[in-house]
Structure 1
């Protein structure tokens, strides 16, 4: 597993930010990825959320988003998208992985009984 930390430039450009619709906002500190299986990444950071039962938004620190990525990479001579090979994943930045298209996400820090 590789741990990729967001650079200060990526943070200034908000490339570590994700709008999770009614679930709130997520600000990642770093990404964990297995270069051999880049279909799934884990983002660790702060989740800002406001379920219906709370009067104001809360910050959940050290929240983890488990993200399933959609195919987003193609070799220069091909048009079909796939996931990048390990040697490409190892060279990618945290924001390149975090900003790749998401197929699905989940977080254990959002209890199932919370309503939005």
Structure 2
């Protein structure tokens, strides 16, 4: 499905504790611990939200790109609504547009209480591997 060039421990997602718990063409779900991904004030780092959103959305785009094709992030926009301070956050990526050359995903990140902490939109360019 997705070509991996680097070993798992060399990937940013592994260092951040991101786990993919569901992946279909219609939806990718990923989780990430807050611990280890905080900024100096003890809150989940906004950049960590961005990494989680891009990981979930890029996997979704790669699934929809098809065999022999790859997805590369083109644009990412994140709005941080509320802070997460503990537990895990969950990202759900769903398609807004799945074309031949680009794909755009809505990524909603929530805390363990189901409260939205971040809204993101990711556009990937799709190309032959």
TM-score scaled by length of structure 1: 0.36
TM-score scaled by length of structure 2: 0.34
Determine which structure has the larger strand proportion and give its number: 2
Q: From the CA coordinates, give the structure whose radius of gyration is larger.
A: 1
Determine which structure has the larger helix proportion and give its number: 2
